[in-house]
Structure 1
Amino acid sequence: MSAIKRFFQKRKLEVKFKKAGEGHRLDAPGTRHHSTGDGASGGRPTPRARPVDPQAAQKAADAALARLETKSKDGAVVVRARMRTEIEAEKRKLVEAEVAGQAAQASPREVILDGAPMMPQVLYCCPEIGPEVLPKEEMEAHIHAFLYSSLAEDPEMTSAIMIHTLNKNPEKVKVGIETLLKYLDNVINNPDEEKFHKIRIGNKAFQERVRSLEGTEEFLQAAGFTIRCLPHEDHEENFWVLSEEMCKDVERLKNIKEVLLAAEPIKPQLDRALKVFHPSGKAAKFEIPDEFYNVSPAELKKEQQRKEEAVEKLGMLRTKAMRERDELKELRKYRFTLIRVRFPDGILLQGVFKAREKLSAVREFVGENLIDWLPFNLTTATGQKLTEDNVTLAELGLAPAAVVNFSWDAEVQADITAQKGAQKDGSYLKPEVMALIQSMQ
């Protein structure tokens, strides 16, 4: 097992125990036992609406009208009409409130729908640090917090991973790491030369290549550098300085260098959002969220209109370059795609993929969920067999959503029939996957 894997396993175990909180005795003084009430009221009963007596409401209305009759008759007709209208409206509100209150008391507090929501979500996971599944920005923030919380335990490994993970520009990361390695090599190869024991923070190359990257300061501290103010030319400046004792520990510096070289970025992984559906006639009906597209649906519609107008104007005069350019634009429209795999028994296995992922990713997804892995085929709704595993889903026309059909490889079925005298049948998906089955809305 690599050092990085051991690091993450240890961290996950510590996080698990930290979340559990401190232990306590059940009979200890001051211990409170919490009820399991439902809702934000913490288990308190919901106040019941006071019943409204329609007869009492009518009596109150009649009394109000009677009082009007005793007043001056100047404008009495207008006043009575307005008051009668207001009183009748108030009476209707009271009666409606009573009916609504009775309905609320009679209805269940929790409604469970038999169907599953059709709209997919684009979520991310990171198995290296925990089971959480979150939107991408939240997952990146979670990774960021995890790394900073790990610094105290293993600063060398954590800071190296931070450099690889928390900086978006891979070219700048490459240059920054090369510069840090050069600093370490200078000390390793020249442990007694004082000029290699310090790095001037104001140096332009250091500012651009190293200091601009998140995690480099933590890495220098982990390597043993400290900030000191030293004379430079005719003034003083801040330097990262490695003590003479640290410089002589060449083996330790070599190990730190290896850690920086071996570290890899922690990346959020697209969660497949696995769902399993009963057979349904709605399998080919999709609700696709806007985030599946690189452009908005309105922009897509305008682009399609422009394309149709151009075709009408140019007719058959479109060049090969024009067609290729249109095809490229088409591929760039989609960020994600929703794939439903229909098995011979009608069961549907659904997953979310990046549009630029290859067909092999779908094959892997299906294979992971089969109760018995054997060679299988995937075909489109028109019967076209999908065999180009290294072609993207967008290029295969499977974006932004598609249904593909599953079947066992014919040669494998023939071998099974020859050996057992019967074709392979029964369930296709693992029991734990089938346990997730639900009806499609």
Structure 2
Amino acid sequence: MVSIKNRTWSLFEKIGFRLVFIYFILIILFQNNGAFPFWDWLFAYPTKWIEQFIPWLGSNIYGIEEEVTVKVTGSGDTMFDNLIALTSLIVALIGTMIWSFIDRKRNDYDTLYYWLTTGIRYYVGLMLISYGMVKVIQLQFSYPGFYRLIEPYGESSPMGLAWTFLGFSKGYNIFMGVAELLAGLLLFRRTMTFGALITLMTAMNVMAVNYFYDVPVKLLSTHLVLMTLFLLSKDIKRVALFFFTKVSTTIEVIKRPKFKRGLRIAINSFKALLIAYVFVYGFIETLESQKKYGSKAPKPELYGMYKITDFVINGDTITNYKNKKLWKSISVQWEGSMQVRNFEGDTPVYFGVEKDSLVDRRLKLTRWGKEPVSFDFNYKKLDSTGLEFNFVFQGDTIQGLSKRLGIKDFRLTSRGFHWISEYPYNR
């Protein structure tokens, strides 16, 4: 898009730069997504203001009837997020027209170009580094658990299918994580172009997964791709010449404005501290998170999947699979929760789990979703082979036996790696 040589920019380059400058700065400020350390604290007051202004804008200007909420839902594509992007684009278009009118005699924006590329390099680089760490340690895509393994294949959502596919392989997680960690090359001007080439491929793959598997991070991944393309724009012609012709070419490094010695030392020192903090503290924090809710988190006492072998209601053994009360399986994957499946549409029912402090081997189960219903669940472990249980639920006295299954008792998780395969094992 622009050149870093000392020359007069074309009208197209100046107008285009003004537009992307305003838009990208607004996105970095208000859709930071934890890219910059302590950003929530540093930008707390503007964030509170935007969280009030955007919903008002949605209701009074854009005419959106439903409520625009700002609560954290795990989605990056909420109405609130889309309105920020739309408003940023409108402000950028209006700002570009005003800027172009009052600054039409300017020859170049070399200094602003340096600062914009710096902001984008750190925004994209630091964000992908954080994403890379949680992949290398396999915290983002967890290994398929019991809830997922016993779910009917066609009942999974596109996002659930993607998460299962990506989480299945530790090696593939490391591969993806290393590719994203290489975005660290963006943090240095000399390696920026090479880093942008790698990051573009990585970010485009992430964007494709988000688009085609309906993962609600489409806005963020799209912005990462656009920002990386902007970083590459100054060298795109030279890159094309290098790969597709015999013409000799060189990559020019973005020139830093001349700073006084003290300021230059301060900037370099801050950069070193920032990079060290992101890598060292980020790595330590990710490891701690893995111990809290990742693969190394403490397992519940009844961790496992239990296939029901006998189910007795009020003294009668139930064998009719059409009976809505007949349980099919019990799964305990996380502390404080239990999943129960019956034979009616194979629909899972989730219960909150609390230990009874007064009675050993008794749990208090509370059904989630519907009107809360609680009951005492008494159990006895049968060595490592299963579970015996009994409880009273909605007037019925229920007893049952179950056989315990482990992760490796499923075809998906027991197949393993085979270098030599005489026939495809496609099941």
Shared fold (TM-score greater than 0.5)?
A: no
Shorter-chain TM-score tier? under 0.3
Q: Which structure's CA Rg is the greater one?
A: 1
- Normalised to the residue count of structure 1, the TM-score between the two structures is 0.18
With a CA cutoff of 8 Å and minimum separation of 6, indicate the structure with the bigger relative contact order: 1
